[in-house]
Chain A
């Protein structure tokens, strides 16, 4: 082969995202380049460091390709937070497609200027998994809850929860020991973390998404530039909007398994009604203004970005 690329990410090799998305992409690149590109896969942070360092690693060339959660480095990719706003996403596929378009318009020469972007996507609708049932916003009062990003932490704190920061792998232990009473994650992750065995209640927002988390799949820029044109073409053909939409769709599809497992166990799945959802929407709404203000402070037109994100999601979800 001509080039070997090191693909680094934080999940174990057998998790859904690596097997159903990243490996699929890598296999395709290897096949379509007639084996001239080889992609060595390093799961579970095997190349060292901790998940928040993946962004640095791909910039510095420690890894050639990385997949990571955008929010692991709060402040570094501020524009992506527009897609983490509550009740903004529709479904994984359409929202991811919109996110890619948004990235092309606003982020490629800003937040992502030092990266060669291969794909960006969001996971399926996020929901609350808790020990005591949560139906109204007031039920969050005093609940020790773990959330994944700056935006979600701020939102749940404002709603009255006691947010506790910790890495995802610590969630099962923390739940089983009462260090936290609840966590927000999509269904897909509950399978690996055994969340449905540790809590009995799952609050869902039918046809709505309380929140989502954004991901980036990126390559080292120099490494990409150094490729001969025909190999660049192979990478380009498999990256961008279509791949992002595929990844978002695949990730949401994996939610079903988590939901099925919780149902099998006879857990309490709380599907909130329209009226109940309206209350949550109202309580969550101030976060948008907070975010716009944060962006203004950083010299970014937050309102314009937020409007564009919403418009793109709506357009792609038709």
Chain B
């Protein structure tokens, strides 16, 4: 068995371990370690790598964005920003048919603009909106599905932890990726709202009604959203306009939301410590996966699998669009079972070299950005596709009365909306690249 075979064999082994519920980061680490053992003929190299690999992965300046964005999301919740967003959206949309669900989507989009993680968005908005949806007679399955789908806006709308990691893997500009994600993110929110209105027309029993709120109250609710807007403009605008680097933007955002939370009295004693604990758990989870992937990928590089695979694809002379479609379908299938971060870390080092040498009529930079946004969307679909969808689980854990199967049924409408959006963005790269081309 030569190195290339060992590299190929590592895929099924890794999958088997993951499906036996080995923690994903640990599985990648273990397979990478074992692979290095076979390829280099001993543990010397693998152990030597451990001397510096963990420290160098954890001390990355670019990755320091991740805990900062996560902490920022915690502070935003403590500062009452999630509540303010939902109140504002609800006062404008609540009286429409399915309006409270639409408001939940709108509030998720708003929260996504100051939070870099989907799970955090789903969890935060779930806490705020789930009781309200129940109160106005929305069915459990539909409410959970709406919030799970809305949660994905946390990553689709910049800032976005996954885009940061994609940017590092493909050596692309984080600010440009954030800019490119903006229109697709808004399209996602609009698509979800349309989905809500279609769903309540097909299932009239799934949603209750609520009287309209007077205009004065609506504008009053808007005022409370101003801090959210300010933080978003400061962070994403600041990163884009070049007032600071992405890491600096994350720091400014975390400090800004922290001050707001402090001001509003949400950041006292226990709550502050809890925000540290929550940030610690998510951060450690993410970084261990990043470390496992780094280990696994350096083993894979030694086996030359990524290089030979991409060369093979090119030699076959496949149509670029067919290759892209196959890759996207693979993501959708694996997305039903795996989480998005692991998928990105595992596959981008293999798929990006393939995509980068195919001709889509775009420059390498535009191609990297367009491909990144589309991959981002398809892996995020994985968060809401049954059976394994992290967002579904998060919401389900907050609403034990609703069997998850009911949520599975309703969420498929949102998955449909996602797939339509992916097809549109694949067919018209100009939509994703519009802002980028406009501003450069």
Contacts and interface: CB of A to CB of B under 8 A. Distances in A.
Interface stretch (B51-59, B153-161, B385-393): B51-59
A112 interface: no
B294 A62 contact: no
Contacts of A261: none
A165 to B, nearest CB: 10
A40 B302 CA distance: 9
B301 A60 contact: no
A62 B295 contact: no
A49 B294 CA distance: 8
B45 A173 contact: no
A48 to B, nearest CB: 3
B7 to A, nearest CB: 13
B245 A49 contact: no
Interface string A37-52: 0001010001111100
A78 B51 CA distance: 23
Interface stretch (A144-152, A175-183, A229-237, A274-282): A175-183
A47 B52 contact: no
A6 interface: yes
A47 B301 contact: yes
Interface string B56-94: 100011000000000000000000000000000000000
A193 interface: no
A167 B59 CA distance: 13
Interface string B244-287: 11000000000000000000000000000000000000000000
Given A53-B56, A173-B173, A60 B242 contact: no
A192 B129 CA distance: 50
Contacts of A46: 298, 301
Contacts of A60: 44-45, 48-49, 51
Contacts of B56: 49-50, 53
A50 B61 CA distance: 12
Given A56-B52, A173-B173, A48 B301 contact: yes
B173 to A, nearest CB: 6
Interface residues of A, number: 23
Nearest to B56: A50
B298 A179 contact: no
Contact of B242 (A48, A57, A178): A178
A169 B301 contact: no
Given A6-B302, A53-B52, A179 B242 contact: yes
A50 B54 CA distance: 11
A62 B245 contact: no
Given A53-B52, A61-B45, A62-B49, A179 B297 contact: no
B294 A48 contact: yes
Contacts of B45: 60-62
Given A53-B56, A174-B245, A177-B242, A48 B49 contact: yes
B42 to A, nearest CB: 10
A252 B295 CA distance: 37
Contacts of A53: 52, 56
Give the residue among B241, B245, B294 with the most A Cβ atoms within 10 A.
B245
B401 interface: no
A42 B299 CA distance: 12
A174 B44 CA distance: 39
B315 interface: no
Interface in B102-140: none
Nearest to A47: B298
Nearest to A4: B3
Nearest to A48: B298
A57 B304 CA distance: 19
Nearest to A12: B171
Contacts of A179: 242, 244-245
B298 A173 contact: no
A174 B60 CA distance: 17
Interface in A232-280: none
Nearest to B44: A61
B120 to A, nearest CB: 27
Contact of A48 (B53, B241, B245, B304): B53
B61 to A, nearest CB: 8
A61 B298 CA distance: 14
B175 interface: yes
Contacts of B49: 48-49, 60, 62
Contacts of B302: 6, 47
Contacts of A176: 242
Give the residue among B48, B60, B294, B301 with the most A Cβ atoms within 10 A.
B301
Interface string B290-311: 0000110110011010000000
Nearest to A40: B304
A62 B48 contact: yes
Contacts of A42: 301
Given A61-B44, A62-B45, A174-B245, A49 B53 contact: yes
Contacts of B173: 173
A178 B171 CA distance: 20
A48 B40 CA distance: 15
Interface in A156-204: 167, 169-170, 173-174, 176-179
B114 to A, nearest CB: 21
A57 to B, nearest CB: 8
Contacts of A40: 304
A49 B243 CA distance: 30
Contacts of A57: 48
Give the residue among B52, B53, B61 with the most A Cβ atoms within 10 A.
B52
Contacts of A178: 242
Contacts of A177: 241-245
Given A48-B295, A169-B171, A173-B173, A61 B242 contact: no
Interface of A: 6, 40, 42, 46-50, 53, 56-57, 60-62, 167, 169-170, 173-174, 176-179
Given A61-B48, A62-B48, 11 more contacts: A42-B301, A48-B53, A48-B301, A49-B49, A49-B56, A50-B56, A53-B56, A167-B61, A173-B175, A173-B245, A177-B242
Interface of B: 44-45, 48-49, 51-53, 56, 60-61, 171, 173, 175, 241-245, 294-295, 297-298, 301-302, 304
12 contacts: A48-B294, A49-B298, A56-B48, A57-B48, A60-B49, A61-B44, A170-B245, A173-B175, A176-B242, A177-B241, A178-B242, A179-B242
